[in-house]
Structure 1
Amino acid sequence: MKMFTEVVSKALAKSLKLEEDCFLNQFGERAALQARFNYYLCCTTPELVLGLKSHADGTGYTVILQDDVEGLQIHKDEHWFTVPTISDALLVLMGDQMEIMTNGVFKAPVHRVVTNSERERISVAMFYTPEPNKEIGPEEGLINEERPKLFKKVKDYGDIHWEYYQQEKEALHVAKV
């Protein structure tokens, strides 16, 4: 996963015509990788039971391996869209910290997990976050007259995000200019 996150971070930078190590530098040498294994029971009333409440991740990004049971949904334009499952594929979701680093070019989607009435669901999520006490901010190459600086530099954003998440609130506003 460490190699995978390095490849993804470099690819994201290249796609924005930035120095390929710029995001790796912001994550730092001791960037954290944490895994969470998720098990969602099947539920006879899925319209009444959420597997995971709506939120945006406070990570740099999250890498998800899903089984073949749909349940992950993304919120866009006031509607929930189900993310299709692809066998043996890894899904990469941007987190708030990558939205900050890219000055809003990449967005951290609000998402949730719904339960399934017929089958249980399993996924593995790998959260990639900057090292502790690391200050992050928008890459200079993504700030210009057409796209002014949207975010200020922040430190320990993951802690800030966690506090807001527990209150069922979003935290990204604390980093906005």
Structure 2
Amino acid sequence: MGQYVMAVQELQNLLTNLVLESLDINPSSMQKQIEEGMHVLAVNSYPFSAEPNLTSGVAPHTDHGLLTILLQSYPGLQIKNSDDTWVNTPFNERALIVLLGDQMEVLSNGIYKSVIHQAISSDHNRISIANVNSFALEEKIRPAPFLVNEERESFYEECSFKDFLDFLSSSDYKQKIRFIDTLKKNVVKGQV
């Protein structure tokens, strides 16, 4: 497991750098924040259910970090597409799934969107291993300065992972409002 985590973190750094480069952000300008950031590994077990339609997996959500890499042992991940319908992700036991998170949506000023996803129950035991990277607990993230100008205003308030954790205990979370939605500004020229 230790070797897997080290390999996934190396892959995560490479993919994060590629996404940053696609935004014309020099990855070395954010290297310190990424290196000092958080790397969370979550192992989830979804036991066999004789009636999968009557049990739940994980409710719809987005991950707060920059990027999540997911390994799953059996199908069960769904993503919400642009027309608001749920789609089963293709399953390949040798493949990893990469999801962008809320921090990447904020950093890109809405150019990239965090992926709404859920885990559904199935008729097989299922394990998923999610590796999430984010900035450090109190490190504020905001839209990259050069992605904000007269033609494209800032669409998001700055936030930190700690702000996200505080949100989880708030009434907004209990009302099923996504954290990223609380960060969106009401911008007249364009809505995200």
TM-score range, shorter chain: 0.7 to 0.9
The alpha carbon displacement at 1:145 in A equals 4.1
Aligned ranges 1:65-80 → 2 under 5 Å: 65-67=71-73, 69-76=74-81, 77-80=83-86
8 A contact 2:12–2:67 mirrored in 1: no
Distance (whole Å) between structure 2 residues aligned to residue 113 and residue 139 of structure 1: 32
* Residue equivalent to 1:133: 138
List per-residue Cα deviations over 1:102-150 (Å, max 9, x = no partner): 1111111211111112x21111011212112101101123223443211
Q: Distance in 1 between matches of 2:149 and 2:91?
A: 38
Structure 1: gaps of 5 or more residues: none
Match of 2:152 in 1: 147
- Structure 2 contact 173–179 (Cα < 8 Å) conserved: no
Q: Distance in 2 between matches of 1:57 and 1:159?
A: 12
Q: Which amino acid counterpart does residue 103 of structure 1 have in structure 2?
A: N
Seen in structure 2, the aligned counterparts of structure 1 residues 9 and 172 have a Cα distance that, compared at 3 Å, is: same
CA contact under 8 A between 1:53 and 1:113: conserved in structure 2?
Answer: yes
- What number of residue pairs does the alignment pair up? 174
Provide closer, same or farther for how the CA distance between residues 56 and 19 of structure 1 changes in structure 2, counting only shifts above 3 A.
Answer: same
| Greater share of residues in strand | 1
* C-alpha distance in structure 1 between counterparts of 2:25 and 2:96, whole Å: 24
Structure richer in helix, relative to its length:
2
Secondary structure of the structure 1 residue equivalent to 2:10: helix
Task: Give the match's secondary structure for 1:50.
Answer: coil
Is residue 48 of structure 1 aligned with residue 54 of structure 2? yes
Separation in 2, partners of 1:91, 1:108 = 14
Identity %: 26
Unaligned runs of 5+ in 2: 1-7, 186-192
Counterpart of 1:11? 18
Residues in 1 aligned to 2:23 and 2:181: alpha-carbon distance in whole angstroms: 24
- TM-score when normalising by structure 2: 0.80
Contact 1:38 1:123 in 2 (8 A): yes
Query: Cα–Cα, structure 1 residues 108 and 121, in superposed 2: closer, same or farther, change >3 Å?
Result: same
| TM-score w.r.t. length of structure 1 | 0.87
Match of 1:123 among 90, 105, 128: 128
Match among 155, 172, 181 for residue 173 of structure 1: 181
Alpha-carbon deviations, 1:2-53, whole Å to 9, x = none?
322221121111122221234445x444211111111111212222212111
